[in-house]
Amino acid sequence: MTQYSINGRAYAAEPAPGQCLRTMLRDLEVFGVKKGCDSGDCGACTVHIDGKPFHSCLVPAFRAEGREVTTIEGLAPCGERHPLQQAFHDAQGFQCGFCTAGMIMTAVTFTDAQKADLPHALKGNLCRCTGYRSIKDALNGVCNIEADVAGKALGASLPNPFTDTILNGTARYTMDLAVEDLLHLKVLRSPHAHARLVSIDRQAALAVPGVVAVYTWEDVPKRRFSSALHEDHLVDPDDILLLDNVARFAGQRIAAVVAETEAAAEAGCRALRVDYEVLPAVFDPVLAMRPDAPVLHDKDGLTASTNIFCTLQGEIGDVARGFAEADAVHEQTYSTSRVQHVHLETHGSIAWKGEDGRWHVRTSSQGPFAVRQKLAYIMGIPHRDLHVFTERVGGGFGGKQEMVSEDLVLFATMKLGRPVKWEWTREEEFIGATTRHQMTTRVKIGARKDGTLTALDVAVFSNTGAYGGHGSETLAAAMASPIAAYRCANKKGIGHAVYTNMTPGGGFRGYGASQTTFAVECAIDALARQLGIDPFTMRRRNVVQPGDNIESIWKEPSDASFGSHGIGECLDIVERELAKGNGVAKPEGADWEEGRGVALAMLECGPPTEHRSGAELHLKADGTYFLACGSTEMGNGITTAHKQIAAAILGTRADDVGIINADTDRTPYDTGTFASTGVVVGGKAVHLTAEAMVEDILDFASRHTGVPLEQCRLDADGVVCGNQRITLVDLHAAGTKVDHRFTVSRRAYLSPRTIAFNVQGVRLAVHRVTGEIRVLHSVHAADIGLPINPMQCRGQLDGAVSMGYGWALVENMVHDDAGRMVNAQLRNCRIPTFADTPRTDIFFADTTDRIGPLGAKSQGECGINPVAPAVSNALADATGVRFAHLPFTPDRLFTQLAAR
């Protein structure tokens, strides 16, 4: 065995031929080194070798022999913080934290010159969550946190409770677990977009040393399901099998190989011999609707007659009459592109049978309770025999509102009786996971001379890909809030979600509303310019107001309601800030043109279908509290917010409220953390539970002391009853003697749903020859009610806006004529880097919501929606050309600008 020095300790290891340093370190249980790409693109695995930073996934393990390797765990002496770790603590320079160790290990070596040029210095480190502002704050010594003071938790910028473990590398994400006797699972994916499996020869695969088992469609349960996670499973079609004998997109899993090592499992997949019958494929939803298109799915053994999975349509008023009354009409087709979530932690799960005789699944999921329900159904076992949980999740953005890794590992471990692990590669994320739905939207809109809308007609074609999970729900969202955001007596719409042989669409931040917000906001702007009306004035004149019906194209009553209404203030803020400017001028030269744009977005806080959450609260013997709730923490800051809600009601410090979340054994039921529900449902459950705890404590204290209840009040660590005070420690001891448990639980349901708003303003310069775009000023205003943690809310919006710029300007999944993605790597399918991400000035409307807990409402999702249309509107202002198709890459702009 070879000796290695890691963090000052000697380790004996014998790396396999070709093994990289990252995997060897993790084999030695040095889990602070993360996997985001295994190709040197993301920086999450950065370590020091003799004091210099390296992406350890690119370093052969044997090259570390005789050299000093330092990971995040060894950056500072045990129990202390390195000055840069302290800076990240004070600035809260992270959200999910998956990139943080690599970010710190890179930045800790920076010279003054590198600190002065962060866009270049951080080019090798990616963050999908933060929008990089808080990282820059950390590197500039900015402190964003406040003191945790009893009774003042609400509205305070308190740090994440898991900050120290994130910064020192001891936070445990899904794969950060050493398991004895572990097997590894890998899948063979179809190279064809549409093909029937004629035969699979598994003999060569089974002959690979270390391969334990090979599974195909013949071996697995034949129960169809949807990978989408919803409370109401009926909104999604049961059109997926664990393994199928028909591949409907290039990248679909068709066989699973289980082996003693990951390398052996991969070799086993390569050794499989598959005979395919290649079938006709269709990739465009409009073409897929034609009668002569190949049909993807059959129903009960009978071939379906159409690829249209879902059609939604409706009309209020009389649209034909509305257009007849219009003085100006704009009509255009807009389209948005597929993008991948690129959460830096890839999908993955580990399953095993516990000493309790039950099956346990550790996973990276936004909805472990929904996963448990689906797994129990597929495997034919009772819910009580199954435990599904998360620990720390490295980003989600809707991509983990999907069951894509848990099913096969559970199946394999049930078959083999040994623990099984499946960790996805970055390429698999691009070709095998879900994406944002590509949508094409035709908008026709009319208005009178004064800008008052008279008619709005929208037609949406949603490419749901090979499977229909989320297809109907994203289509419903696409035809809801973007249309309901404007007052108009005459509205009409029709939308189709259509099966094609593309990678399946799924949930993605913005959830369908992003796509049609782009179309409607561009159309509003174009109509305003046609009428000679300022875009801000056009929106103020037509945006929905309190007292209006909140309706898009359906007359049915809705439970959506204005708990507060701050859109006017948001528009005022963005207009003011753009007018004031930020001192950044456009580049010199006659070829640069400058323009500004604005767009708004409305969000119904939560889905129209059922969503519920529970919380449980305990008073502990030491006088502190312990909170259990089923919501998933994935960088959204929900654990911090829940602790602050509880602390605000209990009058204590947030630090005095411990928490556990997202565990089907240890927390109450929760539908899942998606659809902007973490605060308005999960937070509401915490709110109700904390109020019940106050009642429980005061009731017992009144009976214990004999003082009337109305004369008792709770403070930070005790109860004042009349003229006497009893500490919570003593009260708990008194309760123990009479078996009073100081444990309460409450549930919350999503109704009514309040309304949030966001407004994005952009000033940019575009080069009329090359098509290069430079964002000069970015302003965002959000109506989110009372921010429970302003720093976290700002961070969520930073990340959402950055993701919006990525969708608009940078990210582009390219597929060939056979439906195969040709750029399934981070270096080729880019997400925004530090250099790509403009600083956004973020403001909050001064509102307090009457529906949301403690005056708060949703804010993590909607911020992405107005960004791309604001960019398009600024480009139109600068060039006079309407760019209606995402993304706005230089080659696309060049073609249209040259034509101009």
CA gap 520, 526 in Å, rounded: 10
Hey, what's the torsion of the CAs at 292, 295, 299, 303, to 10 degrees? 50
pLDDT for position 300: 58
Stronger pLDDT, 2 or 564, i.e. the higher one: 564
Interval 650-669 mean pLDDT: 97
756: pLDDT strictly greater than 70: yes
pLDDT, tens digit (0-9, with 9 covering 90-100), for 138-179? 999 999 999 999 999 999 999 999 999 999 999 999 999 999
pLDDT for position 185: 98
pLDDT for position 304: 64
pLDDT for position 299: 66
Residues 671 and 369 sit within 8 Å (Cβ to Cβ): yes
pLDDT, tens digit (0-9, with 9 covering 90-100), for 184-202? 999 999 999 999 999 999 9
Query: DSSP string spanning 11-73?
Result: EEE-PPTT-BHHHHHHHTT-TTS--S-SSSSS-TTEEEETTEEEEGGGSBGGGGTTSEEE-GG
pLDDT for position 701: 98
> Quick one: which of 785, 781, 813 has its CA closest to 797?
781
pLDDT for position 849: 96
- Give phi and psi for 133, each to the nearest 5: -60, -50
pLDDT for position 78: 82
How much of the chain, in percent, has pLDDT values that exceed 70? Answer: 99
Interval 79-97 mean pLDDT: 96
pLDDT, tens digit (0-9, with 9 covering 90-100), for 763-808? 999 999 999 999 999 999 999 999 999 999 999 999 999 999 999 9
pLDDT for position 283: 98
Interval 39-51 mean pLDDT: 97
Confidence of residue 39 (pLDDT cuts 50, 70, 90): very high
pLDDT for position 301: 54
728-737 and 684-705 are packed helices; what angle lies between their axes, rounded to 10 degrees? 70
pLDDT, tens digit (0-9, with 9 covering 90-100), for 498-532? 999 999 999 999 999 999 999 999 999 999 999 99
- Give phi and psi for 496, each to the nearest 5: -125, 130
Interval 85-89 mean pLDDT: 98
